[in-house]
Amino acid sequence: MPSILQHARQTAEKHVQAAEDAKFDPKIIGRHKDNPPRVQLLRSGNTPGRPMIEFVDVGGKFINVKEHMARARESARRRSVKDKKGVQAS
């Protein structure tokens, strides 16, 4: 029985790692996992004394890969239907 549990744990860890790696797929996010996150400082408005706002690019941390890929497939399907009808894309 313990070998079954160990195998299940290893399989689960592989699935989790594959899901995390998929979030950094260049087709989805356009940036590799090894690149450091970009930090951008912007001033909020022109008023003196306003604090700087720090924006940090977190990459694909909050992307639902399955939903994103489903949207991409649906978009491609709609594009092909419009092409078949001869409708110009707007």
75: confidence class by pLDDT, cuts 50, 70, 90: very high
pLDDT for residue 36: 65
Crossing angle of helices 2-23 and 65-85, in 10° steps, is: 50
User: From start to end of 1-90, where are the E strands?
Assistant: 39-43, 52-56
Is the model's pTM score more than 0.85? no
